[in-house]
């Protein structure tokens, strides 16, 4: 066994596991998020909700939510508490979707508990605000080590997101 790995703190091990198993983590957090959202809505007598999950990320969204006639195309992003990530890449195709928005979920890396939400979107019934002009780049370099641009993705800094401390506040942003 690697000595450095054996001496790592539980928090360091949790962060490492999140990096190595990011696809599984994203799926788990998506389910946790939807579970909390639906539980909150149910307990507040808002039963008219539909959830449609995208099988592929072609259209710029991960999930479509509809409640009381309000449609939201949602791109989900995640970050663990204490992360230094200060921006996300957003697919420009989301601009053309009804009620497009980005929900950036912050979670505890050990318990997977959702801590807070970062909101980027307009009021119910309005389109996604402008993304800005900074084109994102691939995280990995090509054979020459160059990180090519991703022409249909824009970098949106964390400062453009509104911090929400509860699922209740998020539901209000989504559906009023």
Q: CA 17 to CA 72: how far, in whole Å?
A: 32
The CATH number of whichever domain residue 169 belongs to comes to 3.40.1350
Is residue 111 very low, low, confident or very high in pLDDT (cuts 50, 70, 90)?
A: very high
3-state class of 19 per DSSP?
helix
Query: How much is the mean pLDDT over the chain?
Result: 90
- Would 14 be classed as within a structural domain? yes
Q: Is pLDDT above 90 for 1?
A: no
User: Domain range spanning residue 118?
Assistant: 3-129+157-175
CA distance 32 to 111: 11
Q: How confident is the model at residue 57 (pLDDT cuts 50, 70, 90)?
A: confident
In the chain, DSSP assigns E strands to 49-53, 63-67, 70-80, 87-91, 101-107, 114-121, 135-137, 149-157, 162-164
Average pLDDT over residues 7-23: 63
- Model pTM? 0.86
Average pLDDT over residues 148-168: 96
Q: How many domains does the chain have?
A: 1
């Amino acid at each position: 066994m690697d000595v450095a790995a054996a001496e790592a703190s539980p928090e360091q091990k949790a962060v490492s596991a999140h990096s190595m198993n990011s696809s599984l983590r994203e799926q788990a957090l998506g389910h946790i998020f939807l579970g909390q959202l639906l539980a909150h809505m149910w307990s507040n007598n808002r039963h008219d909700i539909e959830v449609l999950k995208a099988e592929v990320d072609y259209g710029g969204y991960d999930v479509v939510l509809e409640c009381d006639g309000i449609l939201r195309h949602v791109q989900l992003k995640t970050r663990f508490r204490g992360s230094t990530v200060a921006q996300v890449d957003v697919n420009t195709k989301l601009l053309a979707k009804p009620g497009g928005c980005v929900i950036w979920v912050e979670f505890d890396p050990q318990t997977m508990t959702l801590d807070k939400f970062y909101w980027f979107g307009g009021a119910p019934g309005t389109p996604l605000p402008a993304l800005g002009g900074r084109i994102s780049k691939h995280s990995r370099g090509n054979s020459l080590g160059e990180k090519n641009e991703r022409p249909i993705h824009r970098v949106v800094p964390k400062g453009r997101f509104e911090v929400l401390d509860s699922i209740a506040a998020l539901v209000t942003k989504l559906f009023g």
